[in-house]
Each structure stands twice: as C-alpha cells, then as structure tokens.
Structure 1
C-alpha cells in the first residue's frame, strides 16, 4: 500500500522530511499532552508551519491536492502531528486571508509572519458591540493546537444592544476573534483517550475588548490576501479536507503497519503466519481497496469544486455538500479499516507505545468530531434530494 500515488510537490516533501523526528517524538508529545517544542521548531525551520498561508503571510498557497496529500502524510507519521496539521495550518490560513489590513499587520507583519494559531472557531462566545470592536466573553472546548499557539481563535456571535445579529432569515452573523495568548485563560481539560499530543486545551475570556480589525467572518469567501481558489472557498472546505485527510492518514498507517507485521505474526491458536491466512488476505484486499476509493473520492470532490471556483463559477450548495459527504465517507471508511487492523494484529495492537495502539486510540478520538458527524451527511443528502436549497453550515 505504500506505493499509492506520490505527490512530489512543494509542501508534502516538507512533511515527509519530518517523519523520523515526528515518530521519535510521538511518545514524548503524548506525555506532555502537547506537541514537543522540538517538533514545533522543525515545523518552522522546514517552512511547513506557514506553507498553507497566502503568499503575503509566508505561504505558497497549495492546491487542494497538495493540502490533502500533506495532511495524509502528517497523520500517517503520527495522529497528533496530523491533527496539528489540520488545526494550526488552516487557522493561520484563514486569519491571514480574511483579517482586515490593520489586523493582519498587527498579527502577522509585526511578527515577520512567525505566527502559530489554534483554537475553536465554533461560536461559543458572545461579542457585545462597543466603539471600535467587541467585548468578548465565552468558553471554548478542545482548542486544538493551542498548546504552542501565540494567537488563539475564538468563534462568537456579535450582539447589538443585547440582540443577536442576523445576516438573513435563519442565518446569524458569526465571527472569529484572534486573541493574543496572554489574554486567554486556559483551563486545560485535555485528559483524553487519543490525540493526546495535540494540546487541545479548554479556554475562556471574560469581558475582553477585541478590536473589530482582529475579527473576521466565519464563513467569509472574500479574501483580502491570497489568490488561490481555496481562499475564495472559505474555511469550511479547507477544514473538511483536513478531517478527511487526517482520517485517511491514520488508517493508512495502521494498514501499512499490519501488512508489515503479517509476515512475522503468529497467533497461538493458529501457527500459520498472519500473511498466509486467507481471511487476512481477503480483509487486507477489501480495506486497502476501500481506502484507495475513499482517497480518490476526496480528491475528486475537492478538486472539482476547486476547478469550478478557479474558473469563476459559484461554489454551489451541491459542490459544498459533495465535499462534506466525501469527508464523512472517508472518515467512516478509515475507522472501519482501523478497527480491522487492530483486531487482526491481536496483542501487537494493544501494547502501549506502539504505532498501532496509538493510531487506534487516535482514530476513535478524532472521528468523534462534529464536523464529520452523521448530521453533516443528512444535511448534504437533503440538498441532493431538493428538500432544502442550502445549509449555510456546510
């Protein structure tokens, strides 16, 4: 399975170059419950940390194919490292693309674009309108990548005189505040089954003034920086591609590892090697084929939408539904492959510290995320069926 398509490009090679370091540091990241500083430093030294950014923020504006293959590679190396890839890289991508000029200058330019950003974009806060900005209060859970972030993203509902602001019927205004780390109260809470090394801390702010220029619309598709189609598609497709790629990468690591193990693995109940067992052969063929099909679906859905936007077409509800369904499907297929690999590996998959054991915990933690839940699939299906015209959250 290691022979699946190589993406020889500017970005995935940066991730591949970190493989040995990431795998060596994986256990320490779990113990620290956040990515080790050694790995973070190498992400900066290699250029990986800024690679998804608009050019003005030190990035190369990769295509969706490049982003997907990079995330798969990162998650293959280690689930927590891959999760940091789908947390920090899209966060800085969005802030760099959509912050007003004054906010971009304060956050990015003033720091020579050396800005790591993480957090929770869902609007769990309220921002009461005041002169020049908002007074922000709220609590956010699972702020992925905040363990090493200089700025923290915090989604919120703008409130005008105590009333929620509406963009249209049934669609509230939702914005993201970009807050310096020192202004955030961290309550941690990151004691979990898997993805232990991601520093996904809980945090809060209370009556914090945030200037409007350090906020941007959650569903913005009008970039102030960057020319790639991704910047004109918005944060939702980029996030969806990340979740799909992450699941595929973790599942691939388990399928690859169990395939390597099969030649030398013998079960007490059957002295034949695992590789020689026909049930194993059938299972491997099925799950590798399913994985490859899911990967191709993800690539097809996202590159089709990307091409449409690049040619000046609208990012229609159907295109958005197609991308989100591809992400849900890839996650389901990956979880099933991981479960099979865990079972056939027997006791080799339960020893603490092994890649198989860690990846199994990671896939069952990461696949709990609401972004790839069954509700997403149902919303998409209703668009396909004509039951609803659109669902703004897709």
Structure 2
C-alpha cells in the first residue's frame, strides 16, 4: 500500500492544509460508500484504502516516523471533514487516528517505532480503559480481559487492551495513595478474538465490536501508563494528554454531524412543500429564523472547540504548562459540541418531515448517529460539572 506524505519541511499550518484537502477528496468516496458502510457495519475496503493512501490515519504521528505531525486543530479539521461525509466513518477514523496519537505519544519509543515507523505503519483501535487484568512477568505482562466498543477495529492492525496489574494472589497492585497500577497494552490483531455484537441504532458503520484477550503476553515496549501525564515524545500536541487527544476527538465528529445536517436540510427545504406554507418550506420566515439560530450554534461550537484546543497546544509549544482551566475548557467543549450537534440534528430532522424516514437518507443517518454519539460515557454532562470547578474561578477574580 502506498502511503502519501506531505512535504516534510513544510510548516505545520501548511501541512494541515495539505491533509485537509486530502480529506476532502476522500470524503467524496466516503459519501458514495456511506450506504454500503452502514450495511456492512464497518468502513468498506475502498474507503480504508483511500484513508490509508492519503496518510490520514497517521495525522497525529510525528514526521520522524513518516506521519503528518499535525497540530491538534489541523488534525481535528480532518476528522470533522470525514465525519461530515459520514458520521460512522468519521467516528471510526477518529478512534484510529486519536488512539494512534496517544500510543505514539506516550508509549515506550522502542515499541512505538516498531509499530509506526516503516512501510507497514500500524493502525490502532480498541478499549484502553482498564477493564482487563494482568500479572507482571519477565519483560512484560500477561493480560486477560473482555472488551467492548472497539471502534475502527475491523481494519486496525494493533488492538489496545486496558488492564489493572494484579499480584500472584489476584489482588490489584496499588501505590502509596491506594491507586491501582493501570496500563494500556497493544497486541497484533491476530492475538485478539473478536466477538461481534454490534447491532445498534446509530453509528452503525463504526465496527465497534466486542473482543477478548486470553492470557496474552504483551512486552513492556508495547505498553504505557493509562493515566500518564508525561509524554515520551517532544511534540507539543502530546502535552494535551490522553484525555485531550482521546476524548477531544469526539468534538470534531459532532461538528461534522452538525455541519452535514445543516447542508442536508438546506437542500431538502429548497424544494419541499407542505400544507400551510405559501411556497416551499425554505422560503418561510419561520424556517429561516430557526436555521439562522442553529447555524449560529454550530459555528459558535466550532469556533470554541478550535480555540480551546489551539490555545492549550500553543501554551505547550511556547514552553508553558497547560493550566487546569485550559484542560477544563477542552473537556467542556468536547461535551458541549455533542450537545450542540444533538440540537442541530434534531432541528434539521423536525423540518425534514418524511425525508429522514425512508432509507437511505444521509440526514436520517445523522439523526441516528447523533443519538448514539451523545450517549458516550466520556461526554456525559457530569464532565461539564467537573469542568466548571476550574472555569468558574476565572469569573471571580
């Protein structure tokens, strides 16, 4: 497989423009394949190859390893464009690109180089929260666990498995504060048993299968601390942390869904006639008022997401420490973007009438996808409560 690369010495902003243009070209294929993607519950081989050949899976991999080495905002814009084309594809792609970024940024660099530097550059997927268990052995860990929601796993070459380290008696190993030793390991996909179990109402094409790992050895070089705050790479993007990259990636997926819903409803109402309207629905002041308000919501969310993440990375790039407030704002925007997407998609659905009822329907997919995306545990509204604790003091000065 040929993997394209941008000009290696180009500034990050220029590389971002290059990869965004590649994403737009791939998005044309994604839109054409969207029905097939939903039908087979994972991205099609044609879309996988297009994403790979454009180098998009590795937008958060350093240039040293042949990746794009993008800043977080440029990477998120790529995710948004793929998500605009199809929510499921965008979600699966986000899971691959962001987990790959986390792995290369925080894992032992001997292992990272083996996984990502070379012609068979790895793609990761899988559940990295510590739901499995492991025992320490010479040179690594023996891991057992059953996992869910492995988005993008059908085409991933490495599968993540989060685990808590236990002693020989089966007791969790804890530090002086009582915190368990939690880690993430990556295994070649051949060592993982996939269980299927992905029959859902929305985000159908993400291929978020269940899987299990049975007493598998994972060398130290392919592991990392689950809650590490110290990157093993010098690039500023990794200073955003596991949550900043991994959770943050959900925000541009939401933005893509909202953007697509606005595009779809604008086209639908241009020709739609309903009783009580003097002409087409799109000419009514009631629709125009509603559209203007929701389009503003989308634009505000997009601006805030990119401002919050760009500001945090700029602080790290300048040699500063990302503040608690900046990290809170990243969490705030990741959740808020989901809420905005839900509102925008619902608005479009209500005005579309029967246009979302019959399949296939791009807007119908947006409705189903948004309904699932807003249920993710990492964008629960309690994250806004947690974020507020660091944001409120800024208004009390």
- Work out whether the TM-score is over 0.5: yes
1:21 maps to 2:29: yes
Tell me which residue corresponds to 1:346. Answer: 353
Tell me which residue corresponds to 1:389. Answer: none
Structure-2 separation of matches of 1:333 and 1:168: 42
**Cα deviation 1:142-161 (Å, max 9, x = unaligned):** 11111111110111112234
Structure 2 contact 102–246 (Cα < 8 Å) conserved: no
1:281 maps to 2:291: no
Tell me which residue corresponds to 1:261. Answer: 268
* Structure 1 residues without counterparts, runs of 5 or longer: 1-6, 387-394
Work out the number of aligned pairs and report it. Answer: 379
Deviation at residue 8 of structure 1 after TM alignment: 6.7
Structure 1 contact 305–315 (Cα < 8 Å) conserved: yes
1:310 maps to 2:323: no
Tell me which residue corresponds to 2:139. Answer: 132
- TM-score of the superposition, structure 1-length normalised? 0.91
Q: The residue matched to 2:60 in structure 1 has which SS?
A: coil
| Alignment RMSD (CA, Å) | 2.0
Structure-1 separation of matches of 2:273 and 2:376: 36
Structure-1 separation of matches of 2:387 and 2:85: 32
Tell me which residue corresponds to 2:256. Answer: 249
Structure 1 contact 51–58 (Cα < 8 Å) conserved: no
Structure 1 contact 26–78 (Cα < 8 Å) conserved: yes
Counterpart mapping for 1:30-109 below 5 A: 30-109=38-117
Tell me which residue corresponds to 1:114. Answer: 121
**Cα deviation 1:60-82 (Å, max 9, x = unaligned):** 22112202211111110000111
**Residues 113 and 222 of structure 1, relative CA distance in 2, 3 Å threshold:** farther
Structure 1 contact 221–231 (Cα < 8 Å) conserved: no
Structure-1 separation of matches of 2:178 and 2:359: 48
Structure 1 contact 267–273 (Cα < 8 Å) conserved: yes
Pairing partner for 2:308 from 281, 291, 301: 301
Structure 2 contact 131–163 (Cα < 8 Å) conserved: yes
Q: The residue matched to 1:293 in structure 2 has which SS?
A: helix
Tell me which residue corresponds to 2:235. Answer: 228
Deviation at residue 170 of structure 1 after TM alignment: 5.7
* Structure 2 residues without counterparts, runs of 5 or longer: 1-14
Q: The residue matched to 1:10 in structure 2 has which SS?
A: helix
Deviation at residue 209 of structure 1 after TM alignment: 1.6
Structure-2 separation of matches of 1:135 and 1:322: 38
